[in-house]
C-alpha cells in the first residue's frame, strides 16, 4: 500500500461489480434495479458516523437505485453518469481539501483503472478483472456484491 489506512480521508466506491454483483436486473416493464448487500451498508453507515466520508461513483445507466441507496446510507457524495471518474473525484477532493494520497478507491473493472492508479490505496473484489486485480493494493477475498466492502472495513477500519 502506498498510504497508511489511518491517513485516508475519503473512501470512494464504484457501484456495479463492487457494491453489487454487477448483474443487470430488468423487470417485465423494463425497469432496471440492483441488489446491494446489507453488510456493506452497515459498514458504510459505520464509517459515515465516525466522520469518514464515503462516496459513490458509477457509470451506471440507472441512477435512481444508486442515488436512493446513497441517500439511505448517508452518503453525501454520489455521482452516476458517463463523465470521467477522475474529474468527478477531483471536484470532491477540492471541496474536502484533500489529495489523492488521502483517497481509498475500490473498483472492479478497467473503467476504474485511472482513478485506482492515482488513489493512495486501491482495492478490488476477488472477482475484479485481471487487470484491476494485478494493480490493486488490496485484493479482497469476497466477490462484488457479497459484502466485499464490509471485509475491507473490518480489516482496515475496525471498530475501536
User: Can you say which residues are annotated as belonging to the binding site?
Assistant: 14, 16, 108
Residue from 57, 55, 38 nearest 47 by CA: 55
Residue ranges of the binding site for Mg(2+):
14, 108
Calpha distance 124→19 (Å, rounded):
11
Q: Are 108 and 125 in contact (CB under 8 A)?
A: yes
Cβ atoms of 52 and 104 within 8 Å: the answer is no
Q: DSSP strand E in the chain: where?
A: 10-14, 25-26, 32-33, 54-58, 77-80, 103-106, 121-124, 138-139
- List residues forming the annotated binding site for substrate: 16
**Residue 80 to residue 6: CA distance in whole angstroms:** 28
Distances, alpha carbon 124 to alpha carbons 30, 56, 62, in Å: 30, 15, 22
Amino acid at each position: 500500500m502506498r498510504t497508511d489506512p489511518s491517513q485516508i480521508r475519503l473512501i470512494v466506491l464504484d457501484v456495479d461489480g463492487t457494491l453489487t454483483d454487477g448483474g443487470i436486473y430488468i423487470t417485465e416493464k423494463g425497469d432496471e434495479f440492483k441488489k446491494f448487500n446489507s453488510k456493506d451498508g452497515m459498514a458504510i453507515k459505520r464509517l459515515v458516523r465516525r466522520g469518514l466520508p464515503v462516496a459513490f461513483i458509477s457509470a451506471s445507466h440507472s441512477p435512481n437505485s444508486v442515488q436512493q441507496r446513497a441517500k439511505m446510507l448517508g452518503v453525501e457524495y454520489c455521482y452516476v453518469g458517463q463523465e470521467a471518474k477522475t474529474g468527478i473525484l477531483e471536484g470532491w477532493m477540492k471541496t474536502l481539501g484533500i489529495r489523492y494520497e488521502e483517497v481509498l478507491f475500490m473498483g472492479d473493472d478497467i473503467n476504474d483503472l485511472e482513478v485506482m492508479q492515482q488513489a493512495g490505496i486501491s482495492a478490488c473484489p476477488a472477482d475484479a478483472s485481471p487487470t484491476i486485480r494485478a494493480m490493486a493494493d488490496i485484493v479482497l477475498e469476497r466477490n462484488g456484491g457479497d459484502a466485499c466492502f464490509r471485509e475491507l472495513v473490518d480489516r482496515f477500519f475496525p471498530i475501536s
